Amino acid sequence: MLQVMRHTLPRLALAAGASLAALSALSAAPAAAAPSAFPGGPLGHPLGDTGHLTVTVSGVSSGADGTFEVRCHPNGGSHPDADGACQALERETRWGQDVFAPVPRDSMCTMQYGGPGTAHVTGTWAGRPVDATFDRSNGCEIARWDRLVPLLPGAARA
């Protein structure tokens, strides 16, 4: 038994050393690029048009209510801040997640009221159809809305 251990332990030490060397080489290698949120290109550098949205807002404040068009890459449309709207969308877009997803039903939200503002967003974003509604009826909905300012107008809390 002792004879077997004398031959096995040096081999285990050699294998462990080789494994550590391989891990060191991997950690020194450049990091792979993160997956793109947009088909065809990395976030912020897509190939072609990534979105065309219609945003209808009501009950927020004078001047902010209305229907606006937003196009991204190239940025444009009738939205008062198309560049900011596209930047907000890009900032919130994550691979495999819907930036327009509703608040999950089982969420625990603060009981606060953010005002009568509502918004409806339709169109396409990152190659996917969009049909989302927003309001400011509780803390979760307020946070969901605020993440997309200035696509949705900033609203003073009631």
Q: What ranges do the domains of the chain cover? A: 1-31, 51-147
pLDDT given at position 101: 97
Residues 6+ apart with CB under 8 A from 10: none
pLDDT of residue 6 exceeding 80, the answer is no
Q: Is the pTM here over 0.75, yes or no?
A: no
Query: What CATH superfamily classification does 51-147 receive?
Result: Subtilisin inhibitor-like (3.30.350.10)
What is the model's pLDDT at position 36?
Answer: 40
Q: What is the pLDDT of residues 10-56, one digit of tens each?
A: 554 444 444 444 434 434 444 443 444 444 444 444 445 679 999 99
CA distance 87 to 68: 16
C-alpha 149/C-alpha 55 separation (Å) is 12
Residue 47: phi and psi, rounded to 5, are -95, 105
Q: What is the pLDDT of residues 75-97, one digit of tens each?
A: 999 999 999 999 999 999 998 89
Average pLDDT over residues 97-110: 96
Task: Give me the residues paired with residue 58 across strands.
Answer: 118
User: What pLDDT, on the 0 to 100 scale, is given for residue 96?
Assistant: 87
